[in-house]
Structure 1
Amino acid sequence: MSATAPLHTGSVANADLPLYGELGMTFMQFPLVRDIQASLADVVVSGVPFDLATSGRPGSRMGPQAIRQASANLIWEGARWPWTFALDDHLSVTDSGNVRFKHGEPQTMVDALEAHIRSVLQSDKTALTFGGDHFISLPVLRAYAEKYGPMALIHVDAHTDTYSGGSEYDHGTIFHRAVEEGLIDTEHSIQIGIRTAYTYEGHPFEVLDAAWVGDHGPGAVLEKIRQRVGDKPTYLSFDIDGIDPAFAPGTGTPVAAGISIDCALKIVRGLQGIDLIGMDLVEVAPAYDHAEITALAAATLALEYLYVLAANKQQKAAKS
């Protein structure tokens, strides 16, 4: 190679090449699609390799690709247990790769992600978004609110993320800001698995803390969810640290005494019939993982969510 030959023809500065980009497999080996508007898919999977808003251990920028890689363990089942049908018989899913933005400039991520999700929704699709840290939920919710108005929120996490302090880009303030901006219908929203301090008086959401979930089980959780969200369009935001670190150690802010992966899967699986309009799954930090168990948990939760969408689609078709 000539000493003057360029290493590549793109430019990281103008985001022609995403820093943690497109190499490797897609989620569940779904087709890679760049032209979202032309796609006939029901769901678009996207990655957001961003962790500049994290307050704990960094590394969740590597989460999207870790989740995609772990999904290789799930692709061999024709019909995922305990479902009785193959997902692709009823739901079309594509992977659009990772959202592109300028590394080190958080506002470029905000703008690019909001525009990306808006494009997904304008094409009558729904988004499944892999973080990255939890701050990515805010631009996603902004795009969703443009279409749906204030929506119900099901939020699984160790933390409420309703803290009013912090900087403009902070993964602990996202739902405080989302409420301020009118993106969420707080009367129809619920937080599950919380086990860190928050201000109880005036808290905008109903909270089922991790101890309550452990004592009452997923059936009682689902009953509370259904009572809370009703028939509202509902967005699911799942922080992997909602899971106990025994099952999901690969995250930036692990907190002991969380919910089990079995309980979490039963909760997601039980959301059939709720008007689910989108999901993000965030805070997988593979550098702290062991044997990919956190990434596998995340991939499995995402796949369960897709099966719920497929089941909901079948129910609607049967009624029409």
Structure 2
Amino acid sequence: MGLFLLKRLTTLLATLLGASAVVFLVLEILPGNAAQMLMGPDASPEAVAALASKLGLDQPALQRYGQWIGGLVAGNMGESYAYSSPVLDLVLERLALTVPLALMAMVITTVLALLAGVYAASRHNRWGDVGVMALAQVGIAIPNFWFAILLILLFSVKLQWFAAGGFPGWTEDSGGGLLQALQALLLPAVALAVVQAAILARITRSAVLEVLREDFVRTARAKGLSQRAALWGHVLRNAMIPVVTVMGLQFASLLAGTIVVENVFYLPGLGRLIFQSIANRDLIVVRNCVMLLAAMVIVVNFVVDILYAVIDPRVKASDI
């Protein structure tokens, strides 16, 4: 197990380093000047050059990359040009909304997908299977931002059960509370979860059907085990490796997908921060936020690799 973890950790660190280089390079070659954006179009070249020097934008790219990586290792993301505030504080403040939103969407995705996938597999080639897969196909075809607008029209405008946007905060001091905060995140979480649940339901169905054809399932059924007990007690666990793979990728996708949905519901999360920073040409915020999202994707994949070994020890043995 130790060698398995060491290999995975080495891959994790190498991938993080490669991702940081790509993020820095892509943002470096983009046109535009942050100092010019802050000073305005009427600023003199001397004033723009002075501000660029103050911000360190006149330094060589390799030197700035080294300073950025060193700051990330030390927990220092620098200071935002537009907000005049440490980037770390801005990111932590916005993550307090984005991470719970993604987790809520992932819980909804997992529950809906597992129930629908197992149900469809247990009724293979019958009306239940056809109906669930038809709904899943519709769910895959729906863009989450368009579905978010439909949810607002139905539950906020028509029924008036939920607010159309905004976030009251997690505490009563901020004017909200836990219940109000969860209520404000419910519609965005559903909008994010629908497409992902449809995809995961199809993967779950395929994986369960494949395991149902195995000899040990027929043996368990022949010994008198009920279909429900066989499905949930034996089949689902053996079908979980492809399901866990997709779940890991989907959670990373949900974190990135909040950029659009947060703007639809006017939520002050990480996605809205990235959107505003792009508009303000605040590249230091954009760079750190994109790197954070990339790191989350990489770490999630690392966790999925570890879960492989927990679910199926043969994966660990074959790797060693």
Give the shorter-chain TM-score range: under 0.3
> Is the helix fraction higher in 1 or 2?
2
TM-score (norm 2): 0.25
Structure whose CA Rg is larger: 2
Structure number with the bigger relative contact order (C-alpha 8 A, sep ≥ 6) is: 2
TM-score (norm 1): 0.25
> Is the strand fraction higher in 1 or 2?
1
